[in-house]
């Protein structure tokens, strides 16, 4: 039995891969660059691949019973757009998984995924979710709010910004989120895998993963700064200005841009579940508050 994990080098993937390896589950990782797996790369099978290259899915899926599909692109890449990498690639992976006889497909969507969402990623996620739901595969969908870890690129950027005398806030900062720690998310996935305690109940289920608090983007920035002992005034920068500046940064820096407009726009759109953390609790996980996690880090 092999589990194929995409996105193993990301914020959720790293936390999940650690648990899968510790549980002695045979894992194959579809990765662009195995070095990014760090020390885990010697404990897993590696399938070199890319979301933009559907031919790479064929070897990756050989002998696989369960797929956990985390990989997605939050910004355009030279190999493909957000729509291709987060939307169409999922559709292609689902078709390839059907042909390969995969028995469970676990997919990561996002709260707010809808074809009417103003952001490109959440529209692409809606397309991808539809591909999973309409497939013949037994599937489980997770739709989280913002997922964070103390070392992820978003929190690293906020920490760097907090060195400035005044911290810029993209837009009004009034959109609301229920941030959930990547380690809590990984615990939820582990318990919903086919052989795990909630594996049977997870068949065909859609879990909305939310942390215990509803925070505005402004409060999230303040929480991160306080956890690092910094207090700075926040200045709201109008979206029209943020868009123009970040588009120029992308033109000048290309893939090395520290932030893109598509990423900033995601922070303008609320991602909350009316059920709060009830779905995580149904899976036996009690998500921690962001403050508790960051102050303990
Ligand atoms: N983090 C959040 O706040 C959040 C919220 C809602 C939903 N989600 C969803 O949850 C999933 C995991 O999120 P995350 O935060 O862990 O993601 P992440 O940290 O942004 O990592 C993205 C992962 O996808 C891989 N990837 C990107 N482009 C690829 C390509 N062209 N081919 C193959 N792999 C590629 C990356 O590999 P490289 O190492 O090669 O770059 C990385 O492992 C995603 O589907 C995301 O949309 C996340």
Domain ranges of the chain: 2-148+179-212+272-287
Alpha-carbon gap, residue 180 to 248, rounded angstroms: 32
- What pLDDT score was predicted for residue 297? 87
Residue 211 in contact with residue 147, Cβ under 8 Å?
Answer: no
- The alpha carbon of 7 and the centre of ligand 1 are apart by a number of angstroms equal to 5
Distance 231 CA to ligand 1 centre (A): 31
CA of 23 to the centre of ligand 1 (A): 23
Instruction: Divide the 297 residues of the chain into consecutive groups of 10 and give the mean pLDDT of each group.
Output: 96 98 98 96 97 97 98 96 98 98 98 97 98 98 97 92 92 95 98 96 98 97 92 94 95 93 96 98 98 94
Indicate the SS3 state at residue 220: helix
Query: Which amino acid residue places its CA nearest to atom 40 of ligand 1?
Result: 32
Report how far ligand 1's centroid is from the alpha carbon of 15 (Å): 13
Question: How far away, in angstroms, is 70 Cα from ligand 1 center?
Answer: 6
Can you tell me the distance from the alpha carbon of 259 to that of 242, in angstroms, rounded to the nearest whole number?
10
CA 45 – CA 36 distance, rounded (Å): 14
Q: Distance between alpha carbon 160 and the CA centroid of its chain, in Å?
A: 22
| Letter string b/e over residues 99-110, b meaning 16 or more CB atoms within 10 A of that residue's CB | ebebebbbbbbb
In the numeric block, which tokens belong to residue 34? 């195995």
Q: What is the pTM of this model?
A: 0.97
The binding-site residues of ligand 1, defined as CB within 6 angstroms of any ligand atom, are 7-13, 32-33, 36, 50-52, 70-74, 77, 79, 85, 108, 110, 144, 146-147
C-alpha to C-alpha distance for 189 and 4, rounded to whole angstroms: 14
Place of tokens 């996620």: 125
Distance of alpha carbon 247 from alpha carbon 261, whole angstroms = 6
Taking the CA of residue 50 as reference, the ligand 1 atom at the shortest distance is 32
The predicted pLDDT at position 128 comes to: 98
Question: Which of 10, 37, 269, when mutated, tests ligand 1's pocket best, judged by the most ligand atoms within 8 Å of its CB?
Answer: 10
pLDDT at 1: 83
Residue whose CA is at the smallest distance from ligand 1 atom 36: 7
Distance 137 CA to ligand 1 centre (A): 22
For the CA of 146, the nearest atom of ligand 1: 3
State the pLDDT at residue 178.
98
pLDDT of 106 reads 98
CATH code of the region 2-148+179-212+272-287:
3.40.50.720
């Amino acid at each position: 039995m092999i589990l194929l994990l995409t996105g193993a080098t990301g914020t959720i993937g790293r936390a999940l891969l650690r648990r899968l390896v510790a549980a002695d589950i045979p894992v194959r990782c579809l990765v662009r660059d195995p070095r990014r797996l760090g020390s885990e790369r010697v404990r897993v099978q590696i399938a070199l691949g890319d979301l933009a290259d559907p031919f790479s899915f064929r070897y990756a899926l050989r002998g696989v019973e369960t797929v956990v599909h985390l990989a997605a692109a939050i910004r355009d890449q030279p190999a493909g757009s957000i729509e291709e990498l987060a939307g169409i690639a999922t559709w292609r992976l689902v078709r390839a998984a059907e042909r390969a006889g995969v028995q469970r497909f676990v997919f990561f969507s996002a709260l707010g995924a809808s074809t009417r969402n103003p952001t490109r990623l959440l529209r692409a996620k809606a397309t991808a979710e539809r591909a999973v739901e309409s497939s013949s595969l037994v599937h489980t969908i997770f739709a989280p709010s913002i997922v964070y870890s103390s070392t992820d690129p978003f929190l690293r950027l906020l920490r760097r910004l907090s060195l400035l005398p005044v911290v810029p806030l993209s837009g009004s900062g009034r959109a609301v989120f229920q941030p959930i720690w990547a380690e809590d998310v990984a615990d939820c996935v582990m318990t919903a895998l086919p052989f795990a305690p909630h594996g049977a109940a997870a068949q065909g289920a859609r879990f909305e993963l939310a942390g215990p608090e509803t925070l505005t983007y402004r409060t999230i920035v303040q929480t991160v700064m306080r956890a690092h002992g910094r207090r700075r005034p926040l200045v709201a920068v109008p979206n029209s200005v943020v868009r123009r500046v970040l588009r120029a940064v992308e033109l000048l820096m290309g893939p090395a841009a520290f932030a893109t407009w598509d990423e900033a726009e995601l922070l303008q759109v609320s991602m909350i579940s009316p059920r709060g953390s009830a779905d995580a609790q149904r899976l036996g996980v009690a998500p921690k508050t962001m403050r508790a996690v960051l102050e303990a880090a």
